[in-house]
Structure 1
Amino acid sequence: MFGSNAVGWLKVILENRFGLAFDLDCQMGRSNVLVLTLPGHSGQITFDTLCPEFWSSNNDFPCAQWDPRDSNLQPPLGLPIPAPAMSTIDRKLCEFHDGSAVFHYDVLGLTYWCLNRLEEFEGSPRDLHGRYPAFASHAVRNGYLDRPIVDEWLMVLGQVIAHVWPGVPLRRSEFAIRISHDVDWPGLYNFQPVTVMAKSAINRSIVNRSLWPLIIAPVVWLFRNKTISKFDPANTFDWLMDVSDELGLTNAFYFVCGETNTNYDPGYSIDNPSLSDLIGRISGRGHEIGLHPSYETFRNPTAFNAEFSRLRQVCEREGVKQEAFGGRMHFLRWDQSITPRLWAESGLSYDSSLGYAEKAGFRCGTCHDFPVFDHQRQEMLSLIERPLIAMETTLFDSQYMAIDNRQDAFSHCGHLMNHCKRVGGNFNFLWHNSGFKSDKDKDLYSRIVHS
């Protein structure tokens, strides 16, 4: 099942996670097994139950629960761990013999299947925007989307490694919160057609029970080509940076640099002097500039590359010095067979699109960064994935989770963040600069960031 390149990618995953250069051999014969060894040390870990399900786009298989305590190991979250592709577990999944161990579960196959999103390939369902929907996923259908199951299994594997090779130091990662902002609308009034500006003003007037938006919106709109007004409610850039500066955090701001669908792209020009100046100011304050590719680019390399080129031109003109660029797809549009290679071949260093629009959680089963592998071509790409865990539109929008109580939203984010902390991962959190409808939203944002 595992080709040499896939095995090589798994070795990179293990080295990144544990800081050790393992050997991993796939032994084919009467029974297919994976054997993990550590050069210079005796002992081995054998995975003797490889699951063919983890090598296909199928996700129609059962999911059991395994308590590591049954094998004298500790569950990272203090709970039994979901075990996809297992219907029942009637024996110890991990056994120790004479300085070695045998794992009767395909931990590395699960890692391959989850991180490479194999269930999202051919024949999988799509929503209105061509996205793989959360409801179709094995995680949602089996109730573990809120669990970083890959990280949980790898942490258990870390305990097994420590048992087989005692005294060998293992890398331990630290929790971090990473904040990003998709700049769909740099201004709600500045860059809008007059009818949209009026509608935005009316909506904010109703939400905030104030006439102020109706007064200020026309004034802001009249001077729209000169500056992003401090009175525009989407102009939260300095406030967002102020909050993070207090905590020593670096925010990432992802800008749309083209228009490929007039129904869904904002249509602003990154060359607008007020936006070029904004990019320079963000970078000058030590925060990150990134790309938010427009609606149709997720399958269009020509448009994708043109937009990244436009961003780099503006950054060069404004004196932005960044060693690398990353970003996130507009509307989280993603085709696992095409989009990762677009990112890699364009020269972008990381993507952070892999979260579900309609449900917060662990789409890839992890909150750790990982190198992207092209399953179809069987090669590792020069791209890192930073899986998205939660965004504000997912929490609040009526077509998604529709949480109307800010305390409930805070609790849900806290629940996911706590799981990230327990596995030493990253809580990758998106809040659009234009996503603050009232001061209550700003209070909630501050509480989450300070957690």
Structure 2
Amino acid sequence: MLLVYTHKITPRLTYAFKHICTRILGIPVNFTTKVEEFIAHDSIKMSYTKQSLSSEVFVRSHELLFEQGLSDLDIHVQKWDDTKGFFSTSEKSTLPFDVFAATFYLLSRYEEYLPHVKDDYGRFTATESMAFKHDFLHQPVIDIWAYKLKTVLQKQFPEFQFPERSYTVKPIIDVPSPYDFKQKGLLRTIGGILKDVVNLKFKKLYLRFLVLFGLRHDPFDTYKYILNKQKQYNFKFQFFFLIGDYSTFDKGVSAQKKQYISLIKHVADYCHVGLKASYFALENSTILKKEKKRMESILNTSLSASRQSFSKLNLPEAYRNLVDLEIFEDYTMGYVNHLGFRAGTCTPFFFYDLDYEIQTPLKVHPYHLMDYALLKTHSQLDKKKAVNELIHEIKAVNGEFAPVFHNYTFSEIERWQGFKELFNLMLDSTYEA
């Protein structure tokens, strides 16, 4: 057990230390404000305060972990070997940056509480983030910092055995609409036909009729392929199905359709299944509660995971609603149009509510790549290069790689050509050294 001496134990401090020390490095951590207890501890230890006690591993503390609420922070991002750091310390500090305060800043999504420009869907965008502006969005900086701390501790305590964690992949399959043409109902089908005619999309119209008459597979019906892939690996895919009511933003299939219910049940036999919360459920807990109950009645079990429609997150309300409804896993933390690490980590973490100053039971599984982000890269070679670079970053810290693909990504639709190969590349990365 790592013992940390500090002048004051706060919820922020325990939160940051537990993420770095326990969730990333795998070592339990305890805290003390008593010098005698710290001196008497005969195993791995360090101090986190304003001044070192003697020659121990010492990180000079920034005020952030001892504050409450939001304040106007003066942040200077600087180069630190092959990565970046901020909240610089002093010469006597073992590390040049207060990695714990910086970790808290990134994990709590402090910057998303501050004034910022949202996109058309009301989302915090990558370009607004400090990580993007200072060119470290492509790195899981928190995990990198944790390993730097580990190196320092190993040097001071060579006899201490650190546990090793291994690189994992957690594929996320998002299903906003299970079918492109099937199960849409008479009115929507007629509307779709008329739209194809008006827009002169005769190829799509032809395909629509082939599907409706059972002569072709619906292009979005890729579940057989995905489930066959699932059977080849010993880790479970995580599916999210939209079962909210039809709206301007959500145009899926009615959750009353027997074929759709049957599909969800079938997928749940092989994979983890969660709720893709509809756009209007994001800020309306009544709608979210209705969708949760709907999914639980289909799965015949309590719902544990959700993902927000359009990857929209309004903090802290969106996460508070999940906690209130006892949904304890979220898979929305990431950027739709950019690869990288929105919260600076490739390790799942718990949501910290900055208004209430508490760690909540909601576990956030950040994703690092969405299929849409790769559409900006035109050649297949460049797409593979981008994926491999991301995998390399996560493997370097033995983290969890969470890519988000959609059911239609595996279709024969032209814009998604080559994405099956990219998906296989990600899955097979677990086999490579």
The TM-score range, normalised by the shorter chain, is 0.7 to 0.9
Q: Deviation at 1:253?
A: 1.3
CA deviations on 1:121-161 (whole Å, 9 max, x unpaired) are 04222111111111111011111110111110011111122
Tell whether 2:422 aligns with 1:441: no
Tell whether 2:50 aligns with 1:48: no
Tell whether 2:399 aligns with 1:422: no
In structure 1, the residue matched to 2:208 is 217
TM-score between both structures, scaled by the size of structure 2: 0.83
Query: Which residue identity lines up with residue 386 of structure 2 in the other structure?
Result: H
Query: Which residue identity lines up with residue 78 of structure 2 in the other structure?
Result: A
Change in CA separation of 1:447 and 1:43 when aligned onto 2, cut-off 3 Å? closer
Note the residue ranges of structure 2 that are not aligned, 5 or more in a row: 1-6, 47-56
In structure 2, the residue matched to 1:73 is none
Change in CA separation of 1:283 and 1:41 when aligned onto 2, cut-off 3 Å? same
Tell whether 2:361 aligns with 1:382: yes
Query: Which residue identity lines up with residue 424 of structure 2 in the other structure?
Result: S
Q: Deviation at 1:189?
A: 0.8
In structure 1, the residue matched to 2:171 is 179
Change in CA separation of 1:198 and 1:411 when aligned onto 2, cut-off 3 Å? farther
Of 131, 143, 151, 2:143 maps to 151
In structure 1, the residue matched to 2:86 is 84
Change in CA separation of 1:406 and 1:191 when aligned onto 2, cut-off 3 Å? farther
Of 7, 14, 19, 1:8 maps to 14
Q: Deviation at 1:231?
A: 0.5
Paired residues for 1:25-424 under 5 Å: 39-41=41-43, 43-44=45-46, 45-50=57-62, 52=64, 56=70, 61-67=75-81, 80-86=82-88, 102-192=94-184, 193-194=188-189, 197-198=192-193, 214-221=205-212, 231-259=217-245, 262-284=247-269, 286-316=270-300, 325-396=304-375, 402-424=376-398
Contact 2:337–2:370, Cα closer than 8 Å, also in 1: no
Q: Deviation at 1:53?
A: 10
Tell whether 2:31 aligns with 1:24: yes
Change in CA separation of 1:42 and 1:162 when aligned onto 2, cut-off 3 Å? closer
Q: Secondary structure at the match of 1:185?
A: coil
Q: Secondary structure at the match of 2:418?
A: helix
Q: Secondary structure at the match of 2:173?
A: strand
Q: Secondary structure at the match of 1:181?
A: strand
Q: Deviation at 1:327?
A: 2.4
Q: Secondary structure at the match of 1:448?
A: helix
Looking at structure 2, the residues matched to 265 and 122 of structure 1 have their Cα atoms a distance apart, in angstroms, of 29
Change in CA separation of 1:117 and 1:25 when aligned onto 2, cut-off 3 Å? farther
**Share of identical aligned residues, percent?**
20
Looking at structure 1, the residues matched to 423 and 194 of structure 2 have their Cα atoms a distance apart, in angstroms, of 25
CA deviations on 1:283-307 (whole Å, 9 max, x unpaired) are 22x2111110000222221111111
Contact 1:182–1:433, Cα closer than 8 Å, also in 2: yes
Q: Deviation at 1:181?
A: 1.1
Q: Secondary structure at the match of 1:289?
A: strand
Looking at structure 2, the residues matched to 37 and 275 of structure 1 have their Cα atoms a distance apart, in angstroms, of 63
CA deviations on 1:108-130 (whole Å, 9 max, x unpaired) are 00110111110000422211111
CA deviations on 1:366-408 (whole Å, 9 max, x unpaired) are 1111122112101111111110100111221xxxxx2221221
CA deviations on 1:325-359 (whole Å, 9 max, x unpaired) are 21211101101221112222222221110101121
Query: Which residue identity lines up with residue 30 of structure 2 in the other structure?
Result: D
Contact 2:62–2:87, Cα closer than 8 Å, also in 1: no
Contact 2:350–2:359, Cα closer than 8 Å, also in 1: yes
Q: Secondary structure at the match of 1:150?
A: helix
Looking at structure 1, the residues matched to 321 and 216 of structure 2 have their Cα atoms a distance apart, in angstroms, of 36
Change in CA separation of 1:279 and 1:424 when aligned onto 2, cut-off 3 Å? same
Query: Which residue identity lines up with residue 146 of structure 2 in the other structure?
Result: L
In structure 2, the residue matched to 1:75 is none
Contact 1:57–1:119, Cα closer than 8 Å, also in 2: no
In structure 2, the residue matched to 1:70 is none
Query: Which residue identity lines up with residue 265 of structure 1 in the other structure?
Result: D
TM-score between both structures, scaled by the size of structure 1: 0.80
Q: Deviation at 1:65?
A: 0.5
Q: Deviation at 1:194?
A: 2.7
Change in CA separation of 1:283 and 1:270 when aligned onto 2, cut-off 3 Å? same
Query: Which residue identity lines up with residue 147 of structure 1 in the other structure?
Result: Q
Q: Secondary structure at the match of 2:58?
A: strand
